[in-house]
Chains A and B, each alone.
Chain A
Amino acid sequence: EVQLLESGGGLVQPGGSLRLSCAASGYTLSAYGVSWVRQAPGKGLEWVSGISGSGSNTYYADSVRGRFTISRDNYKNTLWLQMHSLSAEDTAVYYCAKDGESGTSPYYFDFWGQGTLVTVSS
């Protein structure tokens, strides 16, 4: 059974940093890309960042490029999203989501984690 479990969310001050983790299991991690998608309170879904199965290709939304870094370690079955220079606009539930097909992204997302809440506030 495919499982994605996010962690690392919490309260952080404006300008601060946070690292989110996504523990993946139940499938061959190196074969599938994974993305981070966020949802601000009461708002819609926003794609944030993606990484290929091998980790050699990374992708970022304009809103986070230069501030966020996505990475993965397939041996540890874990992906990360390092976030810097956080502002109130980054407050959201952050989901990790697995590509629905193996190969070169982009693909739809067939499995999602339960999400982790990041709150940026003083």
Chain B
Amino acid sequence: DIQLTQSPSTLSASVGDRVTITCRASQSVNTWLAWYQQKPGKAPKLLIYKASTLEGGVPSRFSGSGSGTEFSLTISSLQPDDFATYYCQQYNSYWTFGQGTKVEIK
């Protein structure tokens, strides 16, 4: 099974900050990686798929990069609506999620 490790587990940041979340896979997943945003009590929302493709309607301040085993999600200028938990997911071999990164207000 492919394991995904996200870092950090918690990130404290302020509005306007540039933030980056990293996702490391235990073996190559090529670019078959997605990122989701989840707010309390809500279903996850797709942000990025195929490592760097922005889902329709998602603000351009979100971007993804990486391939193989190292990936990152960057928010260029953090907005109040972005405080949430973020998950990476591989879909190269079945499906696996990272443990999540909570972005909280500093």
Contacts and interface: CB of A to CB of B under 8 A. Distances in A.
Contact of A100 (B1, B49, B93): B49
Interface residues of B, number: 25
Contacts, number: 59
User: Which bucket holds chain A's interface residue count?
Assistant: 20 to 34
Interface in A78-114: 95, 97, 100, 105-110, 112-114
B96 interface: yes
B62 interface: no
A45 B49 contact: no
Main secondary structure of the interface of B (DSSP, over half): loop
A29 B87 CA distance: 26
A35 interface: yes
A83 to B, nearest CB: 18
Interface string A33-66: 0010100000011110010000000010110000
B99 interface: yes
A114 B44 CA distance: 9
5 contacts: A61-B94, A107-B91, A108-B50, A113-B43, A114-B43
Q: Which 4 A-B pairs have the closest CB atoms?
A: A108-B34, A112-B43, A47-B95, A106-B91
Given A61-B94, A110-B46, 4 more contacts: A35-B95, A47-B96, A100-B49, A106-B93
